[in-house]
């Protein structure tokens, strides 16, 4: 399963290339350099069972954060210019269960983009969907919005970094629903 997850992820990243990029620190605007850096992908194993984890996480939601991808949770100490836009951790349980945790950088990927990314990754992983059949957003916006010089209209102002709490959300997909996918 690990190999299939990795191979399907690499197929998705060739199509959704900004997810594998980094922010450009030389650009005063928020642009992404896509130089084949890729996502941060961590494999982890635990001696516990998935059932035990779900029971604990149900009562103590903070327990779920233990399986989140290893990213610097302190916003003030994070260097967004070298941090991956997408961070993934795949945790294998002793019972054979699997937890996939994904963290994305919100300026690059909003909730809709996250959902599309995960959905298309699942299709490629499970059904072997070919790369030309991936149904994702187009990044060729020049066809819709032709480029023009607007550099004189707006001046970038630095956004102050505010200490924020990290939000952890849980999505449970029950077995009958998974089998229909």
In-domain check, residue 94:
yes
Q: How far, in whole angstroms, is CA 37 from its chain's centroid?
A: 14
Indicate the pTM of the whole model. Answer: 0.66
In-domain check, residue 81:
yes
In-domain check, residue 151:
no
Q: What span, in angstroms and rounded, lies between the C-alpha atoms of 157 and 96?
A: 50
The single residue listed with the structure tokens 């790369």 is: 131
pLDDT of residue 170: 72
In-domain check, residue 143:
no
pLDDT of 73 > 60? The answer is: no
The total number of structural domains in the chain stands at: 1
For residue range 20-50, list pLDDT tens digits in order: 888 877 766 677 888 878 888 889 898 888 8
CA angle 173, 12, 86 (to 5 degrees): 75
In-domain check, residue 7:
yes
Residue 151 — very low, low, confident or very high, per pLDDT cuts 50/70/90? low
In-domain check, residue 122:
yes
3-state secondary structure 108-147: CCCHHHHHHHHHHHHHHHHHCCCHHHCCCCCCCHHHCCCC
Residue 135 — very low, low, confident or very high, per pLDDT cuts 50/70/90? low
pLDDT of residue 4: 86
Range of the domain at 46: 2-136+157-180
DSSP 8-class letter at 10? H
The three-class DSSP label of residue 29 is coil
φ, ψ dihedrals at 159, nearest 5°: -95, 125
pLDDT of 71 > 80? The answer is: no
In-domain check, residue 30:
yes
In-domain check, residue 96:
yes
We report the CATH number of the domain holding residue 66 as 3.30.559.10
């Amino acid at each position: 399963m690990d190999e299939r997850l990795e191979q399907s992820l690499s197929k998705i990243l060739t199509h959704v290339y900004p997810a594998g990029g980094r922010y450009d620190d030389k650009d005063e605007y928020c642009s992404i350099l896509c130089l084949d850096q890729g996502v941060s992908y961590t494999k982890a194993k635990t001696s516990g069972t998935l059932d035990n984890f779900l029971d604990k996480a149900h009562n103590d939601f903070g327990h779920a954060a233990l399986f989140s991808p290893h990213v610097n949770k302190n916003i003030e100490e994070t260097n967004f210019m070298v941090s991956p836009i997408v961070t993934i951790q795949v945790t294998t349980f002793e019972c054979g269960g699997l937890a996939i945790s994904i963290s994305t950088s919100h300026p690059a990927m909003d909730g809709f983009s996250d959902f599309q990314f995960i959905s298309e990754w699942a299709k490629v992983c499970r059904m072997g969907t070919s790369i030309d059949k991936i149904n994702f957003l187009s990044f060729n916006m020049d066809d819709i919005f032709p480029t023009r010089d607007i550099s004189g209209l707006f001046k970038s102002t630095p956004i102050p970094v505010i200490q924020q709490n990290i939000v952890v959300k849980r999505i449970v997909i029950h077995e009958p629903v998974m089998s229909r996918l």
